A and B are shown apart, each in its own frame.
Chain A
């Protein structure tokens, strides 16, 4: 290691389940090496010691859902060198973005007896709608090896080597026979961003889109296939796109298209 002072790492949380930041603690074989390479300066889930910013690297988990959080992310951006969003909430609004398609007041009264105690925005939005994001790591949850790759690349001043092809390609690499072709199981693999290693098909299950749409996803072609050959109904098609990445471009548009027709 160089003799330069270690870069300071901060981990921030917004609306989320904590799973993506837990991925860092789940790096059981690498955690102590990471702690040697960076100064874990602000990571409340793991430590009560806080070193003041600015921080060379900020990992941001969760989506923006409250007026206070919309202000907080601005402050974090100012204190951060590299800002990396981790996971579907921070990158696409998360499962809680399902509220974006409904009236928030209805949601509030279903869950809370006293909606007046609750401060919330009517939409759950990704971090990039609020501040400039240097890198987005996808997944619900992220793949911890991809997180280590981003940290490693940053420390060595190179671009992270994160695959941008579809889950389909990962199945081919893994040698998993295509579930749609061989078993007629609907699968979002052709339009979903790689990163999980094509887990679901290897377990006999169609991809359900945890990593969100890949760039240039041909969702209309997949929807046609789902409906024409696999017998997927329109409401089920809408539900398939409206999951953890419901508010991400291609999935959002495709669901809206079929919802209006329904």
Chain B
């Protein structure tokens, strides 16, 4: 594909596989220098912020869950917290614990899906987990078992794994009994071993040298590894209440994407997701999780985005531990939810989706109808970062032939576990090297 005589080459990935949604990549190389990188997002727009207007505040969790089938719990949590904030209600006690438990379930299933089925094939040279299963059936079977346990938590608490029906503003329609949770605990104990093996498995993968000086942004809670509460902090001095989100972060609309790009005002791109959470909250992990991370040589700070796969594995292990802790201490609540009456107000919600912070803001009127909605998903926040990684990464590996470079670029994009459905949603890589076009999926193909 590469023409060594010419001076400009183009690599295009028209439709990128193993990401959630529809995106592509255009890379231009002139005289062995990367001149342009564009992450194209052509996920068709679905206009959530528009049709949320005029809906009841209580409908937001069910409607926004449909933005993403991979992380519906994150949408339900951020929207519920935003509504509770608008109405001045705080959900505590066992209901708060149950919310953390269902979030553990989503992290376990989403991270396991990404680690084994979407990302590990890149490191090991397979097109997918099914091909991987032919050579390593026991690895894939255990992965499926781990993923299933995550889904089981969501199903027991939420009714079903995709678009759970039991989560609402104020709590739950029906709280689980102690007995409901007991069976989960048995399975979770087995999951703990698989999760530990996953940390060892991922740390043994081959990693390129690619440490980066990012601004990491994540929630930080006084005592806990973060899910739904805390201040928004960064390693470069950001420390704000989530209600100040829009004072510090702005969204841009660029021509090559149906997803808006988020940037820190006056500072530029920033990084959200497992790496950011881990680097800013290592001290909030359980001692066992910290010990495990140290055991595999990860340490308290990880600056290489390719190693995010190990960080995800550590987070799976932690989420399994946390789920077990919650189940052990669970006391059935007197009420399954806090009832709320409508009042005018504005509320903010921010939670740590598997891929990073998911911010919601709603303005509601005195009838409880939504007047304005703002939703900033993790992938829109990481888009700028992905492009900047690729610019540096391609430069570092500029001598590789286009097809190998393409595989490396796709792997670099998958470091972010991009959820393009969320960010609005597809990948297809195009490299323009000295004017010679390379296209992984030519126009006209379906």
Contacts and interface: CB of A to CB of B under 8 A. Distances in A.
A26 B161 contact: yes
Contact of B45 (A21, A48, A120): A120
B74 interface: no
Given A18-B421, A26-B162, A106-B50, A31 B45 contact: no
B192 interface: no
Contact of A47 (B17, B20, B66, B147): B17
Interface in B51-108: 51, 53, 55-56, 59, 62-63, 66-70, 72
Interface string B299-322: 000000000000000000000000
A177 B253 CA distance: 51
B140 interface: yes
B165 A203 contact: yes
Query: How large, as a class, is the contact surface on chain B?
Result: 35 or more
A239 B56 contact: yes
B56 A28 contact: no
B270 interface: no
Contacts, number: 195
Given A23-B162, A46-B129, A76-B446, A17 B45 contact: no
Nearest to B137: A32
Interface residues of A, number: 69
Nearest to A101: B51
A66 B44 contact: yes
A9 B391 CA distance: 36
Interface in A115-163: 117-118, 120, 124, 140-141
A141 B163 contact: yes
Contact of A17 (B68, B147, B160): B68
B153 to A, nearest CB: 13
A65 B22 CA distance: 14
B92 to A, nearest CB: 22
Given A29-B148, A46-B128, A199-B160, A20 B69 contact: yes
A236 B48 CA distance: 19
A204 B174 contact: yes
A237 B12 CA distance: 49
B113 interface: yes
B410 A95 contact: no
A32 B129 CA distance: 10
Contacts of A243: 62-63
10 contacts: A18-B69, A31-B130, A99-B50, A102-B51, A110-B50, A111-B50, A114-B253, A141-B69, A199-B159, A239-B56
The 3 closest A-B pairs by CB, nearest first: A19-B69, A47-B128, A49-B127
